[in-house]
Amino acid sequence: MYTIKLFLVIAPLVISSRIDQDYSSLDSIPPEPKSRFAMLDDVKILANGLLQLGHGLKDFVHKTKGQINDIFQKLNIFDQSFYALSLQTNEIKEEEKELRRTTSKLQVKNEEVKNMSLELNSKLESLLEEKSLLQQKVKYLEEQLTKLIKNQPEIQEHPEVTSLKTFVEQQDNSIKDLLQTMEEQYRQLNQQHSQIKEIENQLRRTGIQESTENSLSSKPRAPRTTPSFHLNETKDVEHDGSSWILIQRRIDGSQNFNETWQNYKYGFGRLDGEFWLGLEKIYSIVKRSNYILRIELEDWKDNKHYIEYSFHLGNHETNYTLHLVEITGNVPNALPEHKDLVFSTWDHKAKGQLNCLESYSGGWWWHDVCGGDNPNGKYNKPRSKTKPERRRGICWKSQNGRLYTIKSTKMLIHPIDSESFELRQIKKPMN
C-alpha cells in the first residue's frame, strides 16, 4: 500500500513536469541535448516507480493468499466441529425418544400396579371387617361356652363353635397371604417409582443439552442402554451334569463392583458379562430349600481352584448374614466357617462391624476381622500394584499369608439332594 501511494504521488509530478516542459518549449527552444537528458530522467523515475509498484503488488498478493488459506483452514475446522455437534445432537434426540418410550411403558405398568394395590386394599378391608365380626361372634360363643363348661364340665364342645373357629383360622391365613402379596406389590411399586424418577432425571439432562443445540440436523442413531435386572432373570450353567444358578461372575473388569448397598441388594451388570445377581433375589431362591454354594477361581497362570459350602443366608433385616460349612474343595484358607458373616458396602455397614471397606473395595461378607478374600474387589491386572492395591482388588489369601490376584471368579448355587451331598462329602479335590 505504501508503494501504491508513492506511485500516485510521483506520477502526477512526472506528468506535470513533462507538461511544463512542453509549454516552455513553445516560448523558448532549449538546447537539444538538455531536453533529451530530461526525458531520460523522467522515464527512469517512472520506471523506478512502476518497479516499486510491481514489488508492492507482488507482496500484497502473497499476503492475501496466506490470509485466504488461513480462512479456508478455519472454515474446514468449523465444518468438522459443526458436523460432530450435529451427530451428538442426533444421538441425544434419539436417546430422549427411547427414554420417553420407556417412561410411557413404566407409567402404564405403574398404573396397573396401583390398580392392583387398590383392589387388594379393598379386599383386605372387607376381610378385616369380616374378621372383626367373626371375632366378636367367637368371643360371644366362647363366653357362652365357658359358662356351659362351668355348669356342665363333661359336656362336649358344640360343633358350631368348632366350625366357627376353623373358619376364623382360615380367614386369618387368607389375610396373612394377602398381606404378603400386598407387601410384594408395594415393593415392586417402589422399584417402578425409582426407575421412573431416574428416567425423568435423564430426560431433564438431555432436555438441557437439546435446548443449546436444537438448531443442528437430525440423523437417527441406536440409543445407549443401561443394563438392569428384572425379578425373573437368572443365569443357569451346566456343571457336573446338573444345572447351577450363576449368582456372580468376574472375567475382564468391564463392570465396576464398588457399588452401593441398593445395587448389591437388587443386582447389577449384564448376564452375558460381569454381574451380581442381587442379595434379595438370592435370598428368595435359597429360602425355599437347602442349597450348595460353589466358588470357582482362576489365577493369572490359568490355575483353577474351587470350594463348595452348605450355607444359610439371612434376609435384609440381618444384613443378609451368611453362615458356611465347607463340603469339599482345593482352596486353602477359604472363608471362615461356623461364623456369622455380615454383608457390607461402602455406604452400608452393619452395627458392630469393622469398616473393612476403608481397605477393601466392593461389597462382601465380613466378620470381626477383615480377611484377604474378596471376589468382589477391584479388577487388577497381573503386574499391578503394591500390596495395598492388591488387597483392594480380587484376591485370595493363602495359608502362608501371601495374596494372589485372581483373573476370573464365579459363584454358583445348586439345591442339595442327598445323593449329590454324599458324593461331595467323599469327592477328592480337583487339580
The residue ranking higher by pLDDT, 180 or 103, is 103
Most confident of 25-39, 95-109, 178-192, 328-342: 95-109
User: What's the confidence (pLDDT) of residue 214?
Assistant: 46
Distances (CA, A) of 263 to 268, 277, 280, 314, 408: 6, 10, 10, 18, 21
Q: Quick one: pLDDT band at residue 20, thresholds 50, 70, 90?
A: low
Asked whether residue 398 is domain-assigned, the answer is yes
| Same domain as 252, residue 401 | yes
User: What's the confidence (pLDDT) of residue 230?
Assistant: 47
Cβ–Cβ under 8 Å, residues 419 and 241? no
71-75 mean pLDDT:
92
Q: Where does a domain end: 116, 148, 180?
A: 148
Asked whether residue 120 is domain-assigned, the answer is yes
| Same domain as 399, residue 269 | yes
| Same domain as 395, residue 280 | yes
- Across the chain, mean pLDDT equals 76
HEC per residue, 184-238: HHHHHHHHHHHHHHHHHHHHHHHHHHHHHHCCCCCCCCCCCCCCCCCCCCCEEEE
Asked whether residue 182 is domain-assigned, the answer is no
Distances (CA, A) of 69 to 63, 75, 81: 10, 10, 19
CA–CA distance, 13 with 41 (Å, rounded to integer): 13
Percent of the chain at pLDDT > 90 equals 29
User: What's the confidence (pLDDT) of residue 245?
Assistant: 94
| Tally of domains within the chain | 2
Asked whether residue 138 is domain-assigned, the answer is yes
The pLDDT tens digits for 254-274 are 999 999 999 999 999 999 999
Q: Which amino acid is at 264?
A: Y
| Same domain as 256, residue 135 | no
CA–CA distance, 295 with 60 (Å, rounded to integer): 80
| Same domain as 258, residue 371 | yes
Question: Angle of helix 32-151 relative to helix 2-27, nearest 10 degrees?
Answer: 160
Q: Where does a domain end: 124, 148, 172?
A: 148
Asked whether residue 33 is domain-assigned, the answer is no
Q: Where does a domain end: 106, 124, 148?
A: 148
Q: Which residues contact 19 (CB under 8 A, 6 or more apart)?
A: none
| Same domain as 418, residue 271 | yes
Could you list the residue range(s) of the whole structural domain that residue 76 is in?
43-148
Asked whether residue 205 is domain-assigned, the answer is no
Nine-digit cell string for 424: 461331595
Q: Quick one: pLDDT band at residue 243, thresholds 50, 70, 90?
A: confident
| Same domain as 256, residue 132 | no
CA–CA distance, 410 with 196 (Å, rounded to integer): 32
User: What's the confidence (pLDDT) of residue 373?
Assistant: 75
| Same domain as 253, residue 129 | no
CA–CA distance, 153 with 411 (Å, rounded to integer): 64
The CATH code of the domain that includes 406 is: 3.90.215.10
CA–CA distance, 299 with 401 (Å, rounded to integer): 16
Give the pairing type, strands 395-397 and 364-366. Answer: unpaired
- The torsion defined by the Cα of 369, 391, 413 and 313, in degrees rounded to 10, comes to 20
Among 44, 38, 43, residue whose Cα is nearest residue 20: 38
Asked whether residue 31 is domain-assigned, the answer is no
| Same domain as 399, residue 261 | yes
Asked whether residue 206 is domain-assigned, the answer is no
Nine-digit cell string for 82: 459443526
| Other residues' Cβ atoms within 10 Å of the Cβ of residue 304 | 12
pTM of this prediction?
A: 0.46
| Same domain as 258, residue 137 | no
Exposure string over 75-100, b if 16+ CB within 10 A, otherwise e: eeeeeeeeeeebeebbbbbbbbeebe
